[in-house]
Structure 1
Amino acid sequence: MPHSHLHDLSEDLLQRAARVRLACFDVDGTLTDGRLLFDSEGRESKSFHVADGQGLAQLRHFGVRVAFVTARDSRVARLRGEELGAEVHAGAKDKLACVRELCERHGLALEQVSFMGDDLPDIPPMRHVGLSVAPANVHPWTRPHARWITRAAGGEGAARELCDLLLAAQGHVPALLAELER
């Protein structure tokens, strides 16, 4: 998200984004398009967007912790999270309890957390964190719990939009771009 788009966002949203030190993401429907693909041997595959991975890597580079919080115990999600240096909490049936435990472990308040989710199990953490976000394809019952809806759908760059918002609101974009000119 270029700086020019920041003026389109509310001051409240920018202030909330500026406070985030832990970015939590549901996986299916948020970091992926929500489809679960299985081969004839029962092996699962998912499609992740490379732009989301770049955004998550940039968040970590600038000191924002990244966590995947998913109810499905997915080996694919674990592998992708490990590849990106994210904490992976797969099989998290109580996502709010998981987020609270992460806050306690890292000495953070819930106001310093963003949570991106798209469906009913994501509502509890979305109701309690400082910045709740959903992709464009969010379920209608979950939509009212998101403070911000991305333009992109899950698995199509939605997570990158949140990453860019956090980086811009925290003033990291000039340093990020300067590093690329070296």
Structure 2
Amino acid sequence: MAQLFFKYGAMNSGKSIEILKVAYNYEEQGKSVIMMTSGIDNRSGVGMISSRIGLKREALPIMHETNVFDYVKKTNPDAACVLVDEAQFLTKEHILQLTKVVDDLKIPVMTFGLKNDFRNELFEGSKYLLIYADKIEEMKTICWFCKKKASFNLRMLDGKPVYEGEQVQIGGNEAYYPVCRRHYFDPTV
């Protein structure tokens, strides 16, 4: 039975390496997958899924106007799985299209992304995945400053925490740290 999965975690929790691993496992068995990622994330180039350990792969960039359901139906309605990275940047409409891929085309969809931003607000895509996903799983990592589990993304600028500003600022370790609650509120302790 096809289901919609949302695997979320703080920065550096291994989301992108996990999606690449899942794709490899399907394809090793001769099964086709459709790889997608948000068109907003351009750190390694638009339409690239890239892990911090150096593995990367091309994927369909989902732009604001992309109809995910139509794309899957036209290009590979027999796909074994649809894999979506950076799902936090998707719109409500994209999430609803993914539910149609699961319900109408009977293709499992696995999405990976952040749950909350640096202000601890839900991203639009994450909000609707939390509502519509059949299965939700947290991917864990450790705090940048201690040994506790990181559940927050701390935006840094010139060595100082930032708690206000535009929700989306593409970046990696130079701009964001995965942190525990204590270090989110005070990274100097």
Same fold (TM over 0.5): no
Hey, which of these two has a bigger chunk of strand by percent? Answer: 2
Question: What is the TM-score with the length of structure 1 in the denominator?
Answer: 0.43
Structure exhibiting the larger radius of gyration computed from Cα positions: 2
